[in-house]
Structure 1
Amino acid sequence: MPPRRVTIRDVARAAGVSTSTVSEALSGQGRIASETRERVRQVADEIGYVASAAARSLRLGRSGALGLYVPDRTVGFEYYVQLSRGAAEAALTHGLALTLVPAWDNVEQLRALHIDGLIVADPAVGDPVLAVLRSLPVPMVTVERDLGPDAGPVGVVASDHLTATGELLDHVVATGATSIAVVAPGDETSFGQQIREACRRYAGVRIVDIPLAYRPEDATAAVDEALASGADALVLVPDGSVVVALHHLRERGIRVPDDVLLASYVDGPSLQITRPRITAVDIDPRATGEAAVEALVDVVVHGRQDVVETLVPSRLVVRESTRR
């Protein structure tokens, strides 16, 4: 049998005081002697007492949970898995749970969510679920800027995709590419807008459209369109789409990097084990998730009033797919 959880009554019994005294000592409240407060805390540590997050939330009038909403049909993408992991780990350090909010079409159920704050990843213009989430009476932190006219986040966590895309394209050009096709999502998100703006600064770059939440056939069709235009380098932007592209190129008998250079904007564990390994930009989704939770905790727990933007650094990781 698992060991019984140590309760506040156990601390009171071991310290020889009442449960109310223990509660005041551990919460830092009440008018009790400093010696008593210190003795109670020492006893609590010695017998392994851990405060109940649920009880603390109830006392403070909070749910003890934060929500995380990611774009529809992307929950299995490596980027969002790592972002969710970072957010969950950060929430746990504050005694908070993390609730994944689905792209649900039941408005009343969404409005009934019992959360203290919400993180929205890659908010997109025209997302009907996002419109409902914005109406919830809880603070919201966005991962990337919300382009909606009624956006009002209490914090923004973002990366400089404009600069990072430029660094990736500079590398591909320096490797010898003369006709680059960038397979990119639309400009309904800040992420997509920055990618496209960076591409427009290069004369030899052509943008091929693909949904952010793509299907495998979307990626293969985009690759075929890019190759038909004479591209000698392909940059796939949506998470994981470059792996689909690599398999499709092999099926067509096209060698990477001998016949065509191949890169991804979003890095991930799978790109480090492909053959060849794929050049990509590491935008650190785990750190992004952590930063989003910290920004939300500053508001929910510590009462911060001003809107703060956190910039998560990125880095170009060059691998064999763009080396000749």
Structure 2
Amino acid sequence: MSASRQPRRVRLKDVAEKAGVSVGTASDALSGRGRITGETRQKVADVAAELGYVANALASGLRTGRTRTIGLHRQSPTEQLDKPYFRQFLAGVLEVGQRHDYDVSILSANADMPRSTAARVDGVIVVDPLSDDLRARELMLSALPVVAGEHLPPGLPECEVVAVDHRRALSELLAPEAARGVTRPLLVAPDEHSGWGNLLRDVFDAWAADLGAAPAHGYVRFGGWDDKEGFREVLQPMLQADEEADFVLVSSPYGVLAGLEFLAEHSPTRAVRFASAGPDVGGLLDHVPEVGFVDLPARALGAACAERLIELLEAEAGSARVSGTTLIEAPVHLPQ
């Protein structure tokens, strides 16, 4: 018995012949490119549907140089995959990529070594850009469209930015503390390599200046979101040296816990209020309702970054590379 023959795959040429147009016109009609009348575009689409034509992505990529893949760059991504924030950001990117039929690739991320080959993607999202990340800088200087998923620190090349509106959220978070008469505020946040850390200091210092207070700063490693011991190493000497400190803003709820645990052990009668510029994770702050926090919308931010990058990729070829900022609102949970 002879083996059954597989039906021949419908080619773009077959669609073009039946629609009475050239192969180039059929390709442009199905991809949404070119100056084609709506009637012709619809006719080609109808014929493609009738014949069961499915585009060969590999062949299309060879013709156009496009991969229909967007890259995701984050310093130390393997370290971050167990962090809820990065997983939610990635989920938002994947959701949008699926909707637009784009694959998502996590790029190799050795921050100290240049790439040996070009990234095989159409564009890149740089998550939480850091000024000392060599590969982030390399990508931003490349010909690829780049969207930064958070504010840029000084020194990085300009690119399109989609970020949380931290300024508005922090202003809302800090307003009740001003009403309580804060006199000596402390801030513990990522260092100057982080655009987010720099923005936290700008907003915090302006708020303190309005109070007539002189703030003190502590610095933690960016990415050490759940490093409670790291926060404690920074907070302990600050709280010991400054007995007048009465309010502390930290970049993570783990910093809140580190500060409260230290005070409970060494100064149980001392009254110091805390707030977190980052979201509560797993109900860490459930037992301390007097602590406010910003609920950073990681999934919405990832989705917005992917939407903006795909919008840039789908723009007419030759469009100017743009650099602007889109802000995403973040819910603020005020102390109870």
TM norm structure 1: 0.76
How far residue 195 of structure 1 moved from its aligned partner, in angstroms, is: 0.7
CA–CA distance in 1 between the matches of 2:295 and 2:169? 9
Paired position in structure 1 for 2:234: 222
Paired position in structure 1 for 2:68: 64
Does 29-38 or 206-215 show the bigger shift? 29-38
CA–CA distance in 1 between the matches of 2:215 and 2:127? 28
Maintained 8 Å contact 1:220/1:245: no
Does 243-252 or 306-315 show the bigger shift? 243-252
Paired position in structure 1 for 2:324: 308
Call closer, same or farther: CA 1:61–1:75 in 2, change over 3 Å.
same
Query: Counterpart of 1:78 in structure 2: which amino acid?
Result: P
Maintained 8 Å contact 2:150/2:163: yes
Query: Counterpart of 1:151 in structure 2: which amino acid?
Result: P
Of the candidates 263, 282, 287, which is equivalent to residue 295 of structure 2?
Answer: 282
How far residue 96 of structure 1 moved from its aligned partner, in angstroms, is: 0.9
How far residue 179 of structure 1 moved from its aligned partner, in angstroms, is: 3.7
Paired position in structure 2 for 1:160: 165
How far residue 291 of structure 1 moved from its aligned partner, in angstroms, is: 1.8
Paired position in structure 2 for 1:18: 14
Question: Pairwise mapping of residues 122-271 of structure 1 onto structure 2 (< 5 A)?
Answer: 122-149=128-155, 151-153=157-159, 155-174=160-179, 177-201=182-206, 202=208, 203=213, 205-214=215-224, 215-228=227-240, 229-230=242-243, 231-237=245-251, 241-243=252-254, 245-246=256-257, 249-250=260-261, 253=264, 259-271=271-283
How far residue 87 of structure 1 moved from its aligned partner, in angstroms, is: 1.5
Identity among equivalent positions (%) equals 25
Maintained 8 Å contact 1:144/1:190: yes
Q: Is 1:40 paired with 2:47?
A: yes
Paired position in structure 2 for 1:92: 98
Call closer, same or farther: CA 1:276–1:26 in 2, change over 3 Å.
same
CA–CA distance in 2 between the matches of 1:223 and 1:7? 70
Of the candidates 108, 114, 127, which is equivalent to residue 107 of structure 1?
Answer: 114
Maintained 8 Å contact 2:158/2:323: no
Maintained 8 Å contact 2:232/2:258: no
CA–CA distance in 2 between the matches of 1:297 and 1:283? 23
How far residue 184 of structure 1 moved from its aligned partner, in angstroms, is: 1.0
Maintained 8 Å contact 2:115/2:135: no
Question: May I ask how many residue pairs the two structures share in their alignment?
Answer: 302
Query: Counterpart of 1:236 in structure 2: which amino acid?
Result: V
Runs of 5+ in structure 1 lacking a partner? Answer: 1-5
Maintained 8 Å contact 2:253/2:276: yes
SS in 1 for 2:9: helix
CA–CA distance in 2 between the matches of 1:248 and 1:7? 69
Maintained 8 Å contact 2:123/2:309: yes
Does 188-197 or 120-129 show the bigger shift? 120-129
CA RMSD, Structure 1 to Structure 2 (Å):
3.8
How far residue 9 of structure 1 moved from its aligned partner, in angstroms, is: 3.1
Maintained 8 Å contact 2:97/2:103: yes
Does 227-236 or 283-292 show the bigger shift? 227-236
**1:6-60 deviation digits (Å, cap 9, x = unpaired):** 9983799xxxx9355588375578999788646435547xx7x765655544443
Call closer, same or farther: CA 1:19–1:162 in 2, change over 3 Å.
closer
CA–CA distance in 1 between the matches of 2:70 and 2:94? 9
Where in structure 1 do 4 or more consecutive aligned residues deviate above 6 Å?
28-35
Runs of 5+ in structure 2 lacking a partner? Answer: 1-5
Paired position in structure 2 for 1:295: 308
How far residue 148 of structure 1 moved from its aligned partner, in angstroms, is: 4.8
CA–CA distance in 1 between the matches of 2:258 and 2:204? 25
Maintained 8 Å contact 1:178/1:232: yes
SS in 2 for 1:88: helix
Query: Counterpart of 2:71 in structure 1: which amino acid?
Result: G
Maintained 8 Å contact 2:131/2:156: no
Does 17-26 or 63-72 show the bigger shift? 17-26
